[in-house]
Structure 1
Amino acid sequence: MACVPQKSELRSDVVLPVDEMEPVWVEAQKLIQGMLDEDLLPGLSVALVDRNGPLWLEGFGKADMRKGTPAGADTIYRVGSLSKPLTALAVMQMDGQQRISLDDSISRQLDGFSIRSHDAETVVITPRQLLSHRSGLPSDLRKGMYTSTPFTQVTTLLHDEYIAYAVDSVYSYSNLGYDLLGHLVEQKSRMSFAEYMKQNIFQPLDMQSSDYEVTLAMRERLAAGHLDGLVRPQPPLRDTPALGLYSSAKDLGRLMQALLLGRIPNIDTEMILEMWTSQTAKGQIALGYSPGLGWFIEDDQLLGRVVRHGGSTMLFGAEMAMLPDHELGVVVLANGAGSNKAARKLAATILALAVKVRGTANEPAPIRSPDMMAALPETPSGGYATDLGLLMVDPEHPRLCACIIERVLDMVRFDDGSLGLTPESAASLPPSYRVLGEMRFRSRTTNDLEVLVAERDGEEYVLGSRIESQPWDEVWKKRTGSYRTINPDGEFSIEDLRLSTESGVLCLHYKAPHLSDSSIRVPLKPVSSTEAVIEGLGRGRGETVRIVEVDGKQCIRFSGYMGEPIEEK
């Protein structure tokens, strides 16, 4: 028998598991309670569905710690990047109606779009490339991101920006790409993006708790965002089609059921399957990701194909995942800063339990990433731009300089030519960098680019790309020093800008206090006397830092922000 509360205890927004799902509910509750007890998040909501409807809808913890409001399946959260799969559905609808072409240049379809390039006069980008994060666009325009600026302004703002990568060369996640797609939907539908979504997605699927603005009817069920256990105000967000959706677990459960049934208005089953098919281009550096159209596609040894997307804003986390082969879907929404990791862990656990209960798990099969098998490994040497900062590898001694934490670490060479930290060096690392001690480092050449590859727990990851040591214009050395942001966005600004040279590499330093207390340091490659490109691969890399003259001063322009030099006293 399923464990079902008495009717007097059952809230109207809760559907508990059917008999076969009772073990899922029991085991998942243990994990959920542990997360709540450890203060990983204040509250969360879960929806588990199959093609026949909801299997489990329930909320746990508090939607608002200050008011003591319990979380339920109808609680409304800011879902962050779970907005992107819905924006993708709108684009697919209009492609099916031949109002948008997935494979025609966006500049021929979206009035007013243009962007600069260091290598070519004209950049040709298609909606398909925007949907699958291979357009080469910058990841974000940080200036104005946390303001009420209309997202349609991004089209104009990009006129003064540069492409980060050549189209189809590197996977690079971009919120800006989805702003352009939302703007395209507006222009082609001749209605606001929010109204189009309401009429063509939300209303037909009975998603009554989903919108891009919080209505009066939604407000009483709105979850508060929390940081360090305290309720914090939700900042505005410019990038509506990428990040701006408010929704509930129950609504997103309805969406997943419709997708599993192939019953999305004006989208046939073949188009849904296309969205769930990897779009990685031949020769593209995939960085371990396999994006479809609005989704990420993963292969699990036991579960098979996983179609998923995560969501994260400063005060919320989310995960939505489906197993098409098992006709199951789950969404987890949470209301704590950094709770996206907990949401993803819980969603994966629930799906694994549900598949196990139904007895439909696959036989284990080895999974290899084709992105990593293109060339034989070599011993790394030189400087690499990575998400862990600038790493300088000296294979002769051998040792590793982790510039961001200013440590020189002893290494050991293994029989296969890979390098790893000695136990003593690994033990000396600060907690946030101890992952370096768990890695073996190799280099590979893929798509004519040398990359640093790390092996950890039997899996390989691209950490970054090699920095080519070459002379650069001496004028940049004269610009080293500190800069003051002169066009701030209040508490959401970039500040403490600084240019420095480290081991012969030009570096940009800055702080984003709303995201981290630490200073961010990235290596730059000057491409002219006034322009330098952030080195490395992936999000935030490839973007251009420019020197512009303002009131006779040589100022830094970065992601829309302007910094003037601070004169030394």
Structure 2
Amino acid sequence: MFRTLRGIPLLGCLLGSIGCHGQPSAPPPIAKGDYSAIIRYLQARIPREMARENVPGLSIALVNGQELIWAHGFGLADKARGVPVTPNTAFRAGAISKLLTATAALQLVEQQRLELDAPIQHTLREFYVRSRFHSDQAAADRDITLRRLLSHQSGLPSEHLRDLRSSFAMSQMPMRVSGVWLSSPPGSQVAYSNLGYALVGAAIERSTGKDFETQLQTSLLKPLRMSQSSFVGTGTQLGYRALGYQDGSASTDAQVRDLAAAGLWTSPKDLSHYVQMLFAQGIYRDHRVVGSASIEQMFTQQNTGNALDFDCQIGLGWFLAPCGDEPVAPGVRTYQHSGGGDDFAAQLTLLPDPQLAVIIMANDSNAEDMVVALSNDALRLMLQAQTGRPVCADNCAAPTHGLKLRQVPAAVDRKRLAGFYATAWGVFRIRDEHSRLSGELSGYTFDLLRDEDGWLRAQKKFLGFWLEDLGELGRVQLDVVTVQGRQMLTARSHGQRIALGERIDPPTLPLAWADTIGTYQVLNTHEPDAPLSGVSVRLEDGFLVIRGQLHDEPLTDYILLPVDNAHAVLAGNGYGLGDTVSRQVNGLSASGYAFKRTQSPHKPLIF
């Protein structure tokens, strides 16, 4: 809810980094078993890319089965003090934290302290939800299970923004968010939720009687000899932790409230121990850490039959398919998780069949694309070293840069497609004007043309004459399909179809919600680094559009759909969508915040 584009996959690259992937030097041919050639290539390539992208520090680990092939640090963990990155330097892992949290939860399932398919309310008795999808509210509570929390299918909102940077105990979270409205029907689709993992962390604490850090150290981190890893708060006083940077400047070491979702500090070298344990079916150095059945559950697709998820597959914690990102190689199973935000970037990708893995972490928020590209290329070289055969993605085809002339959609096609689409990145407007079809997202405009395969492609001309290379935005194929009675905007990227958004028709606007047009400021918050300072509501083409505000920075636009006189939802489905906004006396409430009206374009309506 109310997010900026940075950190959201696919279109974050499409819009934020047009032509973002610079071309690295061609990798050398790798003889079978010659991992030293891979290391030499990466030792030359990584510093060049770090310099080009202004990334201060980076750490990498390469794993082959039970062997750590290489772990190395590049650049600086602290520029001001000249502290170098070493293999033992800890970085913020961001969302990779969820992999450790899921593993710890499965350990407790083995011990019968938690149950995968029992309502989480059996453990967190004070927690309950409200639902517009259930006639029986008790049934809604029963639908929130540990399995659905771990696979992002609980239907809970993606975030609870109020006090996001606070340090209150994890055990308080269930009570603080009790009564939250579900954003989607549980079990119907994957909608990424940090809030869900915060509740998993609380359930781990409740079922063990220990605080989260103590339990994770005892059950997982110490048995795996992850000596530089912990979920303890900030790292300003600990010398082995890297500082985060944004645009070359050191950032504040932010407090993370939802430790189970994003609080892990670790190194690629430490995470290599975790990967080796997974490859050994739960055993690390002759000690069983977790049962093989739990490993199998973790890597079993949990969202089979969810039509709205298209080709995106998820396990317990792990993404089991690239979900629109570039695959490592055709036909090679790839499991991965990334971690971004708080001015760090990380990627953990493993290939379960050849038992290869690459872990990369960097201390700059702008390093995400570089980290992903390095991970994929390193894995391709490792496959080549293992098999003796060259490997590349997309059947080694040269990329299509979207510079060919294409066909303007026919009038009936343009009419069918034109409309407002609710996406996690904001409102995607498709317009049929002047006998052409155009798209607009977050202020970026482009033409939409049909390609030779019948898909929509984005295209833009410089000064109206020369075709621009739009990078990934020009390569991704778009179209609108009807699924379960909903008109879904989808993308085909690297052979996979994923959901981008949903077409929304203008609703009948109740007077009560028409009267909400205006600006609002957050009430009663003393957060030092609050993610939201206000919202505004306006009318556009028959839609209520709500926009978050962070001080002087406008955030993303969302369509606000009234449900009744007291409640409305952010239109669409997926990350940050479906969340409930409520009318209050002289204000609104959402994601734990109360907002007071500061400006209205008209006198309040009386009804």
Q: TM-score, normalising length from structure 1?
A: 0.86
Deviations 1:435-483 (A, max 9, x none): 6555554211223322012345655432201113331212211110111
> What's the counterpart of residue 4 of structure 2?
none
> What's the counterpart of residue 317 of structure 1?
345
CA distance in 1, matches of 2:389, 2:196: 36
Q: Is the 8 A contact 2:220 2:289 kept in 1?
A: no
CA separation of 1:501 and 1:421: change in aligned 2, threshold 3 A: same
Q: Is the 8 A contact 1:147 1:235 kept in 2?
A: no
1:190 aligns with 2:209: yes
> What's the counterpart of residue 280 of structure 1?
303
CA separation of 1:412 and 1:53: change in aligned 2, threshold 3 A: closer
CA separation of 1:468 and 1:477: change in aligned 2, threshold 3 A: same
CA distance in 2, matches of 1:114, 1:427: 56
The structure 1 residue matched to 2:321, chosen from 292, 298, 304, is: 298
1:172 aligns with 2:186: no
**1:233, CA displacement in angstroms?**
2.0
1:462 aligns with 2:490: no
Q: Is the 8 A contact 2:245 2:343 kept in 1?
A: yes
> What's the counterpart of residue 372 of structure 1?
none
CA separation of 1:482 and 1:218: change in aligned 2, threshold 3 A: closer
CA distance in 1, matches of 2:462, 2:180: 41
> What's the counterpart of residue 419 of structure 2?
382
Q: Is the 8 A contact 1:53 1:254 kept in 2?
A: no
**1:545, CA displacement in angstroms?**
0.9
Deviations 1:85-137 (A, max 9, x none): 11111111111122211111112232211111123223111111111111111
Gaps of 5+ in 1: 1-17, 368-377
The structure 1 residue matched to 2:179, chosen from 154, 160, 168, is: 160
Gaps of 5+ in 2: 1-31, 396-412, 602-607
**1:487, CA displacement in angstroms?**
2.8
> What's the counterpart of residue 374 of structure 1?
none
> What's the counterpart of residue 60 of structure 2?
46
User: Which one is further off, 22-31 or 484-493?
Assistant: 484-493
**1:356, CA displacement in angstroms?**
0.7
> What's the counterpart of residue 556 of structure 2?
520
CA distance in 2, matches of 1:537, 1:229: 36
The structure 1 residue matched to 2:514, chosen from 470, 474, 477, is: 477
Q: What pairs up with 1:60-209 in 2 under 5 angstroms?
A: 60-120=74-134, 121-122=137-138, 123=140, 124-209=143-228
Deviations 1:377-407 (A, max 9, x none): x853432112443234356944335374286
**1:273, CA displacement in angstroms?**
2.1
Secondary structure class of the residue paired with 1:285: helix
> What's the counterpart of residue 597 of structure 2?
565
CA distance in 1, matches of 2:441, 2:235: 51
Secondary structure class of the residue paired with 2:203: helix
**1:196, CA displacement in angstroms?**
0.9
> What's the counterpart of residue 442 of structure 1?
479
1:529 aligns with 2:552: no
1:490 aligns with 2:528: yes
**1:288, CA displacement in angstroms?**
4.4
CA separation of 1:434 and 1:562: change in aligned 2, threshold 3 A: farther
**1:492, CA displacement in angstroms?**
2.5
> What's the counterpart of residue 24 of structure 2?
none
CA distance in 1, matches of 2:112, 2:426: 45
Between the aligned residues of both structures, percent identity stands at: 28
**1:358, CA displacement in angstroms?**
1.4
CA separation of 1:427 and 1:165: change in aligned 2, threshold 3 A: farther
Secondary structure class of the residue paired with 1:219: coil
Indicate the structure whose relative CO is greater, using CA pairs within 8 Å and at least 6 residues apart: 2
User: Which one is further off, 481-490 or 497-506?
Assistant: 481-490
The structure 1 residue matched to 2:587, chosen from 551, 555, 563, is: 555
**1:204, CA displacement in angstroms?**
1.1
> What's the counterpart of residue 339 of structure 1?
367
Q: Is the 8 A contact 2:546 2:559 kept in 1?
A: yes
> What's the counterpart of residue 239 of structure 2?
220
Q: Is the 8 A contact 1:28 1:349 kept in 2?
A: no
Q: Is the 8 A contact 1:326 1:360 kept in 2?
A: no
Q: Is the 8 A contact 1:179 1:241 kept in 2?
A: yes
Q: Is the 8 A contact 2:173 2:199 kept in 1?
A: yes
Q: Is the 8 A contact 1:313 1:337 kept in 2?
A: yes
> What's the counterpart of residue 271 of structure 1?
294
User: Which one is further off, 237-246 or 19-28?
Assistant: 19-28
Residue-pair matches, total: 534
